[in-house]
Structure 1
Amino acid sequence: MPLPPAINLDARRTIEKAFKDLERTVSVNDRIDLQDTTLDDVRKAAHLVEDELAARQSLRNMRRLEPLFTGLEYYSKTIEVLCNGTPYMPWIWAPIKLVLKISSDYVEAFEKIIKVYGQIAEPLARFQKLNRAFYSDKDVQQTLATFYSDILEFHKEAYQFVRRGSWRLLFRTSWGRFQRRFDGIIQDLKAHEKLVDKMALATNIAESKGWRKEMRQKMETWRQEQVDRMAKEETEEVTRQYLAITSYLKVDESVNAKIFDAIATEAVESVGTSSWILNQSEMQGWLKRLPSSTFILLHGRPGSGKSVLATQIVQFLRTSQQSLTMSHFCTYAYEESMDYDKLLKSFLLQLIRSDKDLIDYVYDILLRKSKIPSSKVVEALILDSVRASSLDPSRTRYIHIVIDGLDECDQATQSRATKLMKRMVSAAFSSGSTICKVLLSSRSSPAITKAAKQSQIVCLSNENKNLEKAIEAYALHRLSLLERELSQLQVTPGDISDLSCRIAKRAEGMFLWARLVLDYLANNMFLKREEILSAPEVLPRALQQLYEKILTQITSHFDERSLERIKLILEWIAFAKRPLRKAEFRSALAFSSGNPDTSELAPQYLFDRCSPLIEERSDSTFAFIHVSLSGKQ
């Protein structure tokens, strides 16, 4: 009995890798349909598609695929030894059945796919003339395995193309990119076809072993260079398109990043005080990759820490990398952050940023077709992008959206933005492949509540226990930084713990009030232990009264000129169109005297005198510590 042919284990591993890569891409339901599919099944499916097209008066000649089926039949015989005992063999033809069925609903796409599939036939025809002894050779097996890898890569590209969300919408703009990828695979198949020919001529020559190995290595190097070159060109083209879109929309993406970073910095300074929100029951349902809990309103009073909680949620989602996470933070400090058109454009860019096909689609609509980016146009692009956002046919795509401070916008913007979010949730659901989840963090607002009917509400006033624990931890951290000074007043660690607890209870969920009390303790001079310990009860409970007390304390020894200067600083922060950087602010204060010949900037210590009502952000701009100070609530 003759021994079975030896198997090249590297070749088997190449086939296994290609198979698993395609298997991961294909959805579970499609995987079940494809397994055990025979070549005859694919032939029958092609004829069935032909009959269906004829019934729709869109007859297409499916006989063009017969050379492909014949080539695959001959090729399958060459890799029998490599595929024995595995599920690998049917996957060289099974995906064709599915791709033809899906694409037949769109005749223009179907025609192009038929043509590229037909091109595979030519390199496969060579296998009709090879004898069994040839493809039992281990060196030849490695080249045969590369054919398998290329064919499955071809199927993967075709499958992903027709299985992604709204693929018909993206067909015209994306086909060129897919055509280049298909061409690259076919080029590789043809190169390996020539290598097989050369091996066939030299297979009986003992000295050819070294030559074949060298040729195969050169081929692999060339192949990788082709892949790298194509990837580089594609990346450069997409980057150019994205920058052109950003320029056309006139969006400064750094604004949203600055706002987020400023709030995130505040969260770092109070580390551990906002993590409780991730374990809150309604919020856990919203964070999970489940189709439930798609729309949540996070309500809280001014100063309750909503923005810090929102950044904590965004950072958690981004770290987990389980979904596309989008965010927008509205604040009076940056007027454009409250503009509806700017909000729209920000979300559009966040949606398409990591998706080459969506970038190409938006570039085509806005720049190739020169459409004016009106609210209506951008809204439509956002909804199209949501429907088409699913990249992986085997997994549901999740989009998490966080908007903070929407109540700082006018009521029309509140209503329009909320309604758009609802439409995005519906658009994702209708795609069948994407789930969109929205979190709006704001004060209770009739405009938002009305537009977000039947949404879940997480009210911070119902989370007093969590907030009290968080504020107590924050107060304990802040007071521990003053331990050296406090010990000189005979304030013990037990006193600090008790003081933290009393600050947290009296704050009643108001992080801002606790912060102001702690700033008061950090910035004032005390002679007696009781002055420290009585602060929570002595200081006004209402924010407005506390602001007045702090301002009175700051200005109590100011002369008239100093009062005018602090007033000027506060007015610049309140009414400037955008936050001023330190150098700009110092220049503005210097020239406020009305003397155009001023050569010196105002001193930096002026800003320190306004603490704790204002703060310098990480980007060197100044802002009030909270929107409630601006009078723009």
Structure 2
Amino acid sequence: MPDCSAMSAQSDLSAFHTALKQFKDGLDHAEKEAFRLVELDDLLKEINDLQARLVRQRRGKNLARLRPFLEAIDQLGKVVEVFGNSSEFVAFVWGPMKFLLHVSISWSDAFHDLVDMYEKIGESLPQLLQTERLFHEDTAMRRVLALMYKDILEFHRLAMRYFKQPMLKQLFQATWKTYKTRFDLLISNIHDHGMLVQNQATLAQIEEFRRERLADCQQYEAQRLREMYTWLRSPNHDQASNAENDQYEYARVRKYCPSSGRWVLSKQAFNEWMDPAYPPIPPLLWINGVPGAGKSVLTSLIVEQVRLLSPAPTLLFFYCKGRDNSRDDFVSIARSFLSELLRCHQDILSPFFYDKFSKSNEAVLSKLQDIEELLRVSLLNCAKVYIVIDGIDECRRDERKRITSWFRDVVENLEPPNLDRVRCLFVSQDDGVARKDFDGITTLKIKPADVKDDIEQYSLHAAAQIQLKFQLSDDMTADMAFKMREAADGMILVVQLMASNLEHQTTVEEIEDELQDEMLPEQLSHVYDRIMVRLFERASNREKEASRIIFRWLLYAKRPLRWHEIQAAQAINLDEQSVEWERRRFRVEPKDLCGSLVTLSSDGRVDFVHSTARSYLARSKHIDLSSGELALANLCVDYLNMPGFHQGIPNLTSLVSGGHYGFMDYAVAHWVRHVEEAALAANEEDAMVKDLAESLMILLDIHFMMPTKQLYVSQSNKKRLQVFERLPRFHDLKQAVVWTHKELNSFGETREPERALDLVCVVNNIRSELEQALNDARNGPAEEAERLEAIYGPKPFKCDRLSCRYFYDGFTTAQQRQQHHDKHKLPFRCVVVGCPRASFGMASSVELEKHLKDTHGHPGNGDFPDLDEPSDQESATKPKRRKRPTATPKAKRPRISEWVCYVCSKVFRKKFNLESHMATHTDERQFRCGVCDLAFARASDRNRHEKTHEAREFVCGGELPDGQTWGCGQKFARADTLRNHHRTKAGQGCVRAAPLGGS
């Protein structure tokens, strides 16, 4: 009969082998060979040498404190020796310990901390020889022994990984204090395991103990990671990024033609760049081609090829997207790369990132200096990095230069022996700007001959799909594939668009017509022409108008629109002052209305299929663009003037349920940019401009807050609004516009004396009701929750800062939003890990410094950015004058052009503006003055009235240096009224008296 105790002992010994194997897997060959031969005597000699060195340098450290650890490990070896050869087990403790002591002595703090940790571990380990009998008799005790050994190896693994970093010199001060806290859990585990040995715990108790410890640790790390990913404006580590979603979409195109793009694998320039061992120096490559040549699809293949390399390098890739402020500049690329670097190297980089995060007062990382430092250090700390950036030509000129120059600088300034540590591949169109940016680096141009086989394969595949649908003959199918191939001229996009156009025909005869020689496209724009003909020739007038509306919105939108936002905008009925979601929204998909010119992404974004499609429509005769900006400006302002946005909305619950607020996030954030760009190209005699001017006055009547502090209005701001300068409240309009710009560009707190509009307050009230409605729906039937998410999107919990991306992107839960919001409100966080204030933060740097001094006994570094520092993207938000093709607007049917108030005879150009105005005459006056109890129909009227009770601080006059006074002494409630006084004849006399009195 087999010896059960011997079998059990061998089984437990295998746990030691498993732990050692896992540790060895993280070592290189030289380390394995060196550690395998280290004995206790070798380690003791190293310790004696270090002690002598410390004495010579007068850095006295008592290394005798290491004795408890050395004795405990020596005893562990002797206990394990009973079950098998233990020499290798202890050698891989002595070897790493010798390495760590030798390396860390260059860092006084780290060396001291390591000695302390070894001392604590030694004191935590039980006297193993005294309890040797337990390990022979009790399986649970042998299990505990294996766990202690595994923890010691894990301690060494973490420590070695830290001290082997290439950029340790730059990282040490910022990361060691945070990183060393990772050892606390291991030391605590070892201590508790020792207690388990002393108390002779059962195996079940041991497993339960380890599960609880592991769960606590994972929960803490997950919380920190969520905070950092939000700071980086990135999805959590377990969610797909924009880059990954793009990669999936482009790789899916290759699914039908698996060999697509593989021609690049035979190109010498590409193979040299890819070569892990011998790349060109500097390892830079620029791949370029004409629009539609399949560059992004090719990029997706390159990404996959890099992922196949062994050993696997760090891979960073990004697909730029024009007019999408989350994908068209250096900051967006850097944030994406930082998120991926954190995901790939969490153990090493998490302390560095968290140190920066804790000291930052930004809810979203935006300070360019911090971004560049984080990215540069993180890149250079990797063993090997491959960077691939596609579509740089879609970014603005200044951003193109910043992206290329920054990454070139990193690669070109690498030092021996790491000249290939970072390599970068750029993909873009070949234009004059690109030639300057990529001057001097290896170039690979995509030629028609390169993509010939790809085009042929795709043509055959597309023709086969069309044959299947229409039951075409083999000859006709072959002819179709041939003609698509011949028309391509090196552009795969041409074949894709032609195939889509043919597939959407309705009869074989129509396909034959499209394949006539005279109908075949000679260039890309001709393909777009054929698609537009198909869309517009067969569509009803209503369908054509719907297509034009979507195209105009996509062309002029200030950020990518989601489908639910387009649906919400379509549902607005300005004449009835309502949003009729069920009656007015589109009942067809965007591709049904816009064909293959647009795409609908997995996150709901609707965008053009290619940048060339946008360019084509911008100059197309099919779309009247002469008033596109004005139309969107009018829509946003008129929408915000609707009763659903007035203070004290009585039927808010039903409005939320009915879909009234699906377009709110866009309109509140972007009405100013539409107004300014429309005003730049506007003629004040234009009927739509008059409509907009009237609507702006209504907006001020409803939402203006009468700020007590006036903001400075620059000459450029005045010039942009010049078309409205004759409006009676032009001064208030300028304040509203400047304040909104300030809110869009600053991550600081709103200063109440400057608040010009109540829109953000109104939005917050509406969102509270919306969140409650969604929470209620999620606890009820699934249909209602799905309906509300279809109207408002899947992430309804949104930030209240206009400048923050999460103002419109939002979060899935209120808890996620609160964690993000706390960073806005309490941005100054304690850097001591484990302190509650590391999670909750404080309102000011003064509070933080006091906390550090009072609680932790040391001051902070005080190095915090200015809370009110504008975003680095501020320049991107400034409107630029857009050149538009001139087009004669189509004649419109006659309509009522004037609406007269029957009470005061005031004339309005829009019926709904009259209805908003009528609130001033109603008997319902729910807004009462807090001083005299006088009631008003609107909050803005009440606020304006309350100012009359305050001391009048704008006085005509003052005291001169010689003691004389000037001015008439008349007091005014507002600065602009005082300025108007000075323009009068009497007031000019007051002003003239000032210099005379001082002479």
Using the size of structure 2 for normalisation, the TM-score is 0.53
CA contact (8 A) 2:75 2:129 kept: yes
Q: Can you list the C-alpha shifts for 1:237-289, whole angstroms capped at 9, x where unaligned?
A: 333343345399xxx99665665565455555x45363525744454555565
Q: Tell me the CA shift for residue 40 of structure 1.
A: 1.5
Question: CA, structure 1 residues 228+42, in 2 after alignment: closer, same or farther (shift >3 Å)?
Answer: same
Mapped pair 1:338 → 2:322: no
Residue from 276, 296, 314 that aligns with 2:285: 296
Q: Which residue of 2 aligns with 1:415?
A: 401
CA contact (8 A) 2:501 2:534 kept: no
Residue from 349, 364, 367 that aligns with 2:355: 364
Residue from 298, 310, 326 that aligns with 2:299: 310
Question: CA, structure 1 residues 536+415, in 2 after alignment: closer, same or farther (shift >3 Å)?
Answer: farther
Mapped pair 1:573 → 2:557: no
Aligned equivalents of 1:626, 1:187: Cα separation in 2: 57
Q: Which residue of 2 aligns with 1:601?
A: 584
Question: CA, structure 1 residues 256+333, in 2 after alignment: closer, same or farther (shift >3 Å)?
Answer: farther
Q: Tell me the CA shift for residue 482 of structure 1.
A: 2.2
Q: Tell me the CA shift for residue 557 of structure 1.
A: 7.9
Aligned equivalents of 1:387, 1:134: Cα separation in 2: 50
- The 5 A counterparts of 1:126-525 are 126-127=127-128, 144-171=145-172, 174-175=175-176, 179-194=180-195, 196=197, 215-246=202-233, 263=250, 266-267=253-254, 270-272=256-258, 274=260, 276=262, 279-281=265-267, 282-283=269-270, 286-287=273-274, 289-290=276-277, 292=279, 294-314=283-303, 322-354=312-344, 355-370=346-361, 373-389=366-382, 397-425=383-411, 435-461=421-447, 464-465=449-450, 467-484=451-468, 486-487=470-471, 491-524=472-505
Structure 1: gaps spanning 5 or more residues = 199-211, 390-396
Q: Tell me the CA shift for residue 406 of structure 1.
A: 0.4
Aligned equivalents of 1:289, 1:37: Cα separation in 2: 33
Question: CA, structure 1 residues 91+304, in 2 after alignment: closer, same or farther (shift >3 Å)?
Answer: same
Q: Tell me the CA shift for residue 180 of structure 1.
A: 4.6
Aligned equivalents of 1:60, 1:426: Cα separation in 2: 43
Q: Can you list the C-alpha shifts for 1:179-206, whole angstroms capped at 9, x where unaligned?
A: 45433333443444455556xxxxxxxx
Q: Tell me the CA shift for residue 442 of structure 1.
A: 0.8
Q: Which residue of 2 aligns with 1:62?
A: 63
Question: CA, structure 1 residues 262+579, in 2 after alignment: closer, same or farther (shift >3 Å)?
Answer: farther
Q: Judge which range, 508-517 or 76-85, deviates more.
A: 76-85
Aligned equivalents of 1:306, 1:119: Cα separation in 2: 58
Aligned equivalents of 1:583, 1:550: Cα separation in 2: 25
CA contact (8 A) 1:298 1:460 kept: yes
CA contact (8 A) 1:256 1:337 kept: no
**Could you say what secondary structure the match of 1:402 adopts?**
strand
**Could you say what secondary structure the match of 2:65 adopts?**
helix
Q: Which residue of 2 aligns with 1:392?
A: none
Question: CA, structure 1 residues 485+453, in 2 after alignment: closer, same or farther (shift >3 Å)?
Answer: closer
**Could you say what secondary structure the match of 2:13 adopts?**
helix
Question: CA, structure 1 residues 347+241, in 2 after alignment: closer, same or farther (shift >3 Å)?
Answer: closer
Q: Which residue of 2 aligns with 1:206?
A: none
Aligned equivalents of 2:130, 2:543: Cα separation in 1: 97
Q: Which residue of 1 aligns with 2:523?
A: 542
Q: Tell me the CA shift for residue 319 of structure 1.
A: 8.1
**Could you say what secondary structure the match of 2:356 adopts?**
helix
Question: CA, structure 1 residues 577+162, in 2 after alignment: closer, same or farther (shift >3 Å)?
Answer: same
CA contact (8 A) 1:92 1:148 kept: no
Aligned equivalents of 1:361, 1:583: Cα separation in 2: 39
Q: Which amino acid aligns with 2:340?
A: Q
Q: Can you list the C-alpha shifts for 1:310-341, whole angstroms capped at 9, x where unaligned?
A: 23433565688934333222222524421333
Q: Which residue of 2 aligns with 1:25?
A: 26
CA contact (8 A) 2:502 2:514 kept: no
Q: Which amino acid aligns with 2:387?
A: I
CA contact (8 A) 1:273 1:474 kept: no
**Could you say what secondary structure the match of 2:88 adopts?**
coil
Structure 2: gaps spanning 5 or more residues = 619-999
Aligned equivalents of 2:241, 2:512: Cα separation in 1: 44
Q: Which amino acid aligns with 2:297?
A: V
**Greater RCO (CA < 8 Å, at least 6 residues apart):** 1
Q: Which residue of 1 aligns with 2:775?
A: none
**Could you say what secondary structure the match of 1:302 adopts?**
coil
Aligned equivalents of 2:560, 2:507: Cα separation in 1: 35
Q: Can you list the C-alpha shifts for 1:381-408, whole angstroms capped at 9, x where unaligned?
A: 101122334xxxxxxx443322211011
CA contact (8 A) 2:570 2:585 kept: yes
Aligned equivalents of 1:125, 1:616: Cα separation in 2: 64
Output the aligned Cα RMSD.
Answer: 4.1
Q: Tell me the CA shift for residue 101 of structure 1.
A: 1.1
CA contact (8 A) 1:586 1:604 kept: no
Q: Judge which range, 609-618 or 575-584, deviates more.
A: 609-618
Q: Which amino acid aligns with 1:78?
A: V
Q: Tell me the CA shift for residue 574 of structure 1.
A: 1.7
Aligned equivalents of 1:436, 1:221: Cα separation in 2: 45
Q: Which residue of 2 aligns with 1:393?
A: none
CA contact (8 A) 1:123 1:190 kept: yes
Q: What is the aligned residue count?
A: 598
